[in-house]
């Protein structure tokens, strides 16, 4: 869990990421700051286009540049600023210090190499091991992520595995060099619910075993509720609320967070006539309003919201909660 | 209430060809003996994981996939016996809404052309009447008239899905198959579209076959629910009965696997081992026995019969050896094979 006295493992400050498009530059991530502490799981949630995936990719400098670029800000990881590292230093860091798993395991794995080949490559890149030593370690990792008959599976190709198995292989690969931080981008979204349950359970177990921190990027608030310590809610490139998980779900402050929580279809005792909704839709990133980006969908909107953009500020008397809203819920 | 749709022992097998002569080497049993009926003005939710055959079933019911065997009756008429021309005429009564609002609209047609097409195909009204109807349909699904001359790429996912719904409504159908209509949408938009579908059903008295992998979505829209696994319906009941007391071990596992958006309720999860077997080579006996936490020796050999655990007027069907007609008549509703279930593990 999060110990506020500890030094953060990762510290993002005023990060801005832009993409050049035909219609002009778009700020996918607009001035965000957050910390991740050792052994902590932080969820970054929001809907499509809110900037959560770009945030995750930027932490490993995996956004394509160009058209993307880091305009300003710093990403501090164990004393190094990731935004300033050379590509070579970055390569040494990826996989070894910070690892990532992606939504679609079929596209993230190379279809023409066996699972073993790909894993051995990753391991030998960061560790001084022979092929056979690396292979032994790969089998060991496959076993840890719950792949039955790892000795047989290691010589199979990705297409021979089911979706859940492929995602396990991705996890095994990501953890094979003992990273301190795992960025998991929608790791279970492509999977069926029963498989999702298996895979999430495995991830949480391994996180404990490997003493690593995790950033879980997802649109699924259910997954966040079950596996995170703290959540960051993003909307239109901004962080609009952060809070420890229980407080966020019990007393959401930002009207968007509240609306999002209410509109999830969930199993209920009684069928509802109407699901609560958030009216309207997300504004176009090319034509953002000058004030609060959620204003035109918000029930608490006032003139001030349309004129001045609210900044993310700590909520008084509540330790580690922040919200970017002039009229937050109590 | 009257019965609108009746499906009896429907099967859809896809041949797998291989070898030098492209002979049929195997069959994918996507839908393997499914029977159900749907009453007028009600929604049947069909839930299951990818590859369970729910989409194939939805399409086979409309004969968009030609069924391999079985009968389908719409309004008392046997669809499976109709010739091409007759079928096209009947299609006015039955429509489909697709999952992917990006792939289901032609990028080269304006909104007006897209929504008007079914009216053109069936030669309904004069061109002015059609235009007027298109405008009314837009209003029904909550889009403004100004969008008529625009193209699909100018719209968000939720708006596109509304266009797809307007197209499906154009012919005043009695029956709509909605195949994962909200799963490509963000939650805040998802609930807008779900509310729209629920409203349309109330106002237009349309029957829906609503296909989804999401049990929570299914609960919100359905009157009756069928749970599919490997091409078969393993449980079928009114939504109230199914969600209140799920019987089949697969349904129970599916429900427990849903992540609950409440950090205080750590759900007691039934984690299923392994993967869904291939529909090319389904297991003997009960299709679920390879993953079932309560598997008994009998499950490996004998296909479980359909048992009614509810009443005659409000049936709760389940295909599982844990239940027998006797246990249903006792009214206790406890799994009949409970003791056998433990010893079988």
Quick: pLDDT tens for A9-28. 999 999 999 999 888 889 99
Q: Inter-chain contact A165–B49, Cβ cutoff 8 Å? A: no
A245, A267, A275: residue with CB nearest B255: A267
Which pLDDT does position B328 carry in this prediction?
60
B326 CB-near residues (< 8 Å, 6+ apart) = B336
Contact at CB, B188 and A48, closer than 8 angstroms: no
The 10s digit of each residue's pLDDT in A28-72 is: 999 999 999 999 999 999 988 899 999 999 999 998 888 889 999
Question: Average pLDDT of B271-282?
Answer: 81
* Cβ-Cβ contacts under 8 Å, B249 against chain A: none
Q: Is B345 on the interface with A (CB under 8 A)?
A: no
The answer to whether residue A106 scores a pLDDT higher than 80 is no
B153 to chain A, closest Cα gap in Å:
14
Report whether pLDDT(B239) > 70: yes
Per-residue pLDDT, B324: 84
Sheet hosting strand B94-97, strand order edge to edge? B94-97, B175-179, B207-212, B43-47, B224-229, B232-238, B316-319, B306-308
**Confidence band for B289, pLDDT divided at 50, 70 and 90:** very high
Are A201 and B271 in contact (CB < 8 Å)?
Answer: yes
- Please report the pLDDT score of residue B337 as a whole number: 41
Say if residue A100's pLDDT is above 50.
Answer: yes
Q: Give the pLDDT confidence score for residue B185 in this predicted structure.
A: 80
Q: What is the mean pLDDT of the segment spanning B287-299?
A: 92
Nearest to A265 among B220, B259, B276 (CB): B220
Is the model's pLDDT at B339 over the cut of 70? Answer: no
- At residue B276, the pLDDT reads 81
Chain B closest-CA separation from residue A193 CA (Å) = 6
Three-state secondary structure string covering B10-26: EEEEEEEEECCCCEEEE
Closest residue in B to A196 (Cα) is B257
Residue of B nearest to A266 (CA): B216
The pLDDT value given to residue B288: 93
Task: Determine what percent of chain A is predicted with pLDDT higher than 90.
Answer: 50
Stretch A294-317: mean pLDDT, rounded? 90
Q: Is the pTM of this model over 0.80?
A: yes
Residue A194 has pLDDT above 90, yes or no: no
ipTM attached to this prediction: 0.78
CA distance B162 to B137: 10
Q: What is the average pLDDT score of chain B? A: 86
Q: How much is the pLDDT for B249? A: 94
Q: What is the pLDDT of residue A164?
A: 81
- What element of type H or E holds A100? strand A98-101
B154 to chain A: nearest residue by CA? A284
Eight-state DSSP code of residue B303: P
- Residue A84: how many other CB atoms lie within 10 Å: 10
Residue B333 has pLDDT above 60, yes or no: no
| Residue B329 confidence (pLDDT) | 55
Instruction: Name the minimum distance, in Å, from the CA of B142 to any CA of chain A.
Output: 11
Query: pLDDT at residue A239 above 90?
Result: yes
Instruction: Check whether A2 has a pLDDT greater than 80.
Output: no
User: Confidence band (pLDDT; 50, 70, 90) for B123?
Assistant: confident
Contact flag A281-B255 (C-beta cutoff 8 Å): no
Q: From the list B186, B220, B260, which residue is nearest A275 (CB)?
A: B220
Q: Assess contact for B234 and B318: CB atoms under 8 A.
A: yes
Residue B10 has pLDDT above 80, yes or no: yes
For residues B210 and B43, is the Cβ–Cβ distance under 8 A?
yes
Output the DSSP codes for A22-53: TTEEEEEEEEEEEEE-TT-EEEEE--TTSSHH
Tell me what the mean pLDDT of segment B288-304 comes to. 92
**Range B74-89 average pLDDT:** 90
Report the distance separating Cα B160 and Cα B103, nearest Å: 10
Q: Which of A164, A188, A197, A254 to mutate to test the interface with B (most CBs of B within 10 A)?
A: A197
CA A4 from chain centre, in angstroms, equals 21
Q: Residue A235 has what pLDDT?
A: 94
- Tell me the pLDDT tens digit for each residue of B206-230: 999 999 998 888 988 899 999 999 9
Determine the angle formed by the axes of helices A131-144 and A163-175, rounding to 10 degrees.
Answer: 120
Whether residue B271 and residue A198 make contact (CB cut-off 8 A), yes or no, is yes
């Amino acid at each position: 869990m999060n110990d506020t006295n500890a030094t953060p493992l990762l510290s993002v400050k005023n990060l801005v990421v832009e993409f050049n498009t035909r219609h002009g530059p778009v700020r996918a991530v607009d001035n965000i700051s957050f910390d991740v502490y050792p052994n902590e799981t932080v969820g970054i949630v929001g809907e499509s286009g809110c900037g959560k995936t770009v945030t995750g990719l930027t932490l490993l400098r995996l956004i394509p540049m160009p058209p993307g670029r880091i305009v300003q800000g710093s990403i501090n990881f164990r004393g190094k600023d990731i935004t300033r590292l050379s590509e070579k230093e970055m390569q040494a860091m990826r996989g070894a210090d910070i690892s990532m798993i992606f939504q679609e395991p079929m596209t993230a794995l190379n279809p023409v190499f066996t699972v073993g080949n790909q894993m051995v490559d990753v391991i030998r890149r960061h560790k001084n091991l022979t092929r056979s030593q690396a292979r032994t370690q790969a089998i060991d990792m496959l076993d840890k992520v719950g792949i039955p008959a790892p000795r047989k599976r290691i010589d199979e190709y990705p297409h021979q595995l089911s979706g859940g198995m492929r995602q396990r292989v991705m996890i095994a690969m990501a953890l094979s060099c003992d990273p301190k931080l795992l960025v998991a981008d929608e790791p279970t979204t492509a999977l069926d619910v029963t498989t999702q349950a298996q895979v999430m359970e495995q991830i949480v177990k391994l996180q404990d075993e490997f003493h690593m921190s995790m950033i879980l990027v997802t649109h699924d608030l259910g997954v966040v509720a079950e596996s995170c310590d703290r959540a960051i809610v993003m909307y239109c490139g901004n962080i609009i609320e952060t809070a420890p998980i229980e407080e966020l779900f019990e007393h959401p402050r930002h009207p968007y967070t509240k609306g999002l929580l209410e509109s999830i279809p969930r199993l209920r005792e009684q069928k509802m006539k109407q699901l609560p909704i958030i009216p309207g839709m997300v504004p176009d990133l090319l034509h953002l309003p000058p004030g609060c980006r959620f204003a035109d969908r918000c029930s608490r909107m006032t003139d001030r919201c349309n004129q001045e953009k609210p900044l993310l500020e700590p909520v008084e008397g509540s330790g580690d909660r922040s919200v970017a809203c002039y009229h937050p819920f109590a | 209430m009257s019965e609108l749709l009746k499906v009896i022992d429907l099967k859809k097998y896809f041949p797998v060809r291989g070898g030098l002569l492209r002979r049929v080497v195997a069959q994918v049993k996507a839908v393997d003996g499914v029977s159900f009926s749907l009453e007028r003005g009600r929604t049947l939710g069909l839930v299951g994981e990818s590859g369970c055959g729910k989409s194939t079933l939805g399409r086979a019911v409309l004969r968009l996939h030609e069924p391999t065997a079985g009968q389908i009756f719409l309004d008392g008429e046997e669809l499976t016996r109709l010739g091409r021309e007759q079928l096209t005429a009947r299609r006015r009564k039955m429509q489909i809404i697709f999952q992917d609002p990006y792939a289901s609209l032609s990028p080269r047609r304006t909104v007006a052309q897209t929504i008007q097409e079914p009216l053109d195909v069936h030669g309904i009204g004069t061109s002015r009447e059609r235009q007027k109807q298109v405008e009314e349909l837009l209003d029904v699904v909550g889009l403004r008239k100004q969008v008529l001359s625009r193209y699909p790429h100018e719209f968000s996912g939720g708006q596109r899905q509304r266009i797809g719904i307007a197209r499906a409504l154009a012919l005043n159908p009695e029956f709509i198959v909605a195949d994962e209509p909200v799963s490509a949408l963000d939650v805040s938009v998802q609930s807008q579209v779900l509310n729209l579908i629920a409203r349309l059903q109330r106002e237009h008295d349309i029957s829906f076959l609503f296909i989804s992998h999401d049990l929570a979505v299914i609960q919100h829209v359905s009157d009756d629910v069928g749970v599919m696994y490997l091409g078969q319906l393993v449980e079928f009941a009114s939504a109230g009965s199914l969600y209140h007391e799920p019987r089949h071990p697969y349904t129970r596992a599916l429900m427990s696997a849903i992540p609950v958006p409440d950090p205080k309720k750590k759900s007691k999860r039934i984690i299923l081992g392994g993967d869904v077997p291939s529909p090319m080579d389904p297991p003997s006996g009960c299709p679920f026995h390879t993953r079932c936490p309560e598997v008994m020796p009998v499950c490996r050999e004998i296909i479980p019969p359909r048992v009614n655990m509810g009443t005659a007027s409000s049936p709760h069907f389940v295909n599982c050896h844990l239940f027998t007609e006797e246990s249903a008549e006792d009214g206790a509703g406890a799994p009949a094979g409970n003791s056998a279930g433990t010893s079988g593990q």
